[in-house]
């Protein structure tokens, strides 16, 4: 890594998440996006990677025992878990990152390496960089397809970082091995059960209609959006009285096949 890149990362770490974090995670996210505005492509990538590396260190610290061995593993000289790569792998192996988060961070790591290991001009239009950004998952908090590769990496990774901050707050500092603690963020619905169902059904109707005439890139995003709204629909069922659960979940099949409405272990019940 060049001296310029090293100095850049050191400067970025002087503005760690703690400088922008508040009790309201979305306020923190807005502050973070404000900071991104004046960065060029290289600066944005290095910033996202630096925040990811530091946030993963805090996630590991929250999960492990609070002792000198943990500190040496994560932050000591030549620490085994002192790099972005090792921290990504360790968090995933311990079950405190989801599979999707793991893959997105690996894509970010590759893009970071491309930008930090060359003196030559480089942008998101580089073939290899483009491939890795396009492979990232879409953020669960956006309803409009990103208009550029920069918007895609910024929205996908910044929300992923926010999810890590939430996980850090939630993880009990017991040092005991647990089931997967990875978490995802979704925007919620704040109305009555009937109003939430109506909103989900209306949105899924719109999305299915849009999918029919969509081109490849747009269709990929709309498929993601459809799954996101199906999961919102399912959460409505989980939070409704038990007597309504079966009826609500059957209603989901008006918009998707049974294969499309089976979810991961995030939820307490399966369809």
Q: How confident is the model at residue 77 (pLDDT cuts 50, 70, 90)?
A: confident
Q: How confident is the model at residue 38 (pLDDT cuts 50, 70, 90)?
A: confident
Q: How confident is the model at residue 189 (pLDDT cuts 50, 70, 90)?
A: confident
What is the Cβ-side half-sphere exposure of residue 220, based on CA atoms within 13 angstroms?
A: 9
**Do 271 and 258 meet the contact criterion of CB atoms below 8 Å apart?**
yes
Q: How confident is the model at residue 266 (pLDDT cuts 50, 70, 90)?
A: very low
**Do 162 and 29 meet the contact criterion of CB atoms below 8 Å apart?**
yes
Q: Which range (24-28, 51-55, 145-149, 252-256) has the least confidence?
A: 24-28
CATH classification number, 3-170, choose in 3.40.50.920, 3.30.70.2610, 1.20.120.330, 3.30.1490.20: 1.20.120.330
**Per-residue confidence (pLDDT) for residue 118, from 0 to 100:** 85
Name the pTM for this structure: 0.75
The contacts of residue 102 (CB under 8 Å, 6+ apart) are 88, 91, 92
Question: For residues 226 and 231, what is the distance between their CA atoms, to the nearest angstrom?
Answer: 9
Question: 122-148, pLDDT tens digit by residue?
Answer: 999 999 999 999 999 998 888 899 999
Range 173-193 average pLDDT = 65
> Is residue 9 predicted with pLDDT exceeding 60?
no
Query: Of 183, 173, 164, 153, nearest to 51 (Cα)?
Result: 164
Domain boundaries of the chain, sorted by first residue: 3-170, 193-261
């Amino acid at each position: 890594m060049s001296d310029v890149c090293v100095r850049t990362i050191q400067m970025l770490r002087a503005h760690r998440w703690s400088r922008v974090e508040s009790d309201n995670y979305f306020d923190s996210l807005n502050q973070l996006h404000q900071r991104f505005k004046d960065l060029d492509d290289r600066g944005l990538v290095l910033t996202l990677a630096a925040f990811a590396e530091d946030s993963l260190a805090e996630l590991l610290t929250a999960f492990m025992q609070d002792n000198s061995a943990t500190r040496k593993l994560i932050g000591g000289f030549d620490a085994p878990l002192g790099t972005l790569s090792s921290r990504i792998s360790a968090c995933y192996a311990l079950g405190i990152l989801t599979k999707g988060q793991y893959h997105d961070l690996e894509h970010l790591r590759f893009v970071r390496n491309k930008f930090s290991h060359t003196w030559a001009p480089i942008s998101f239009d580089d073939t290899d960089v483009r491939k890795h950004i396009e492979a990232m998952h879409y953020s669960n908090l956006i309803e409009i397809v990103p208009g550029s590769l920069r918007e895609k990496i910024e929205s996908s990774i910044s929300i992923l970082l926010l999810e890590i901050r939430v996980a850090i707050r939630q993880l009990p500092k017991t040092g005991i091995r647990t089931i997967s603690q990875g978490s995802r963020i979704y925007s919620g619905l704040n109305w009555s059960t009937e109003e939430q169902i109506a909103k989900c059904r209306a949105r899924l109707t719109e999305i299915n209609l849009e999918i029919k005439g969509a081109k490849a890139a747009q269709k990929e995003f709309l498929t993601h959006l459809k799954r996101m709204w199906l999961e919102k629909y399912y959460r409505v069922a989980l939070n409704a009285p038990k007597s309504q659960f079966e009826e609500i979940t059957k209603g989901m099949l008006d918009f998707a096949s049974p294969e499309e409405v089976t979810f991961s272990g995030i939820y307490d019940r399966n369809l």
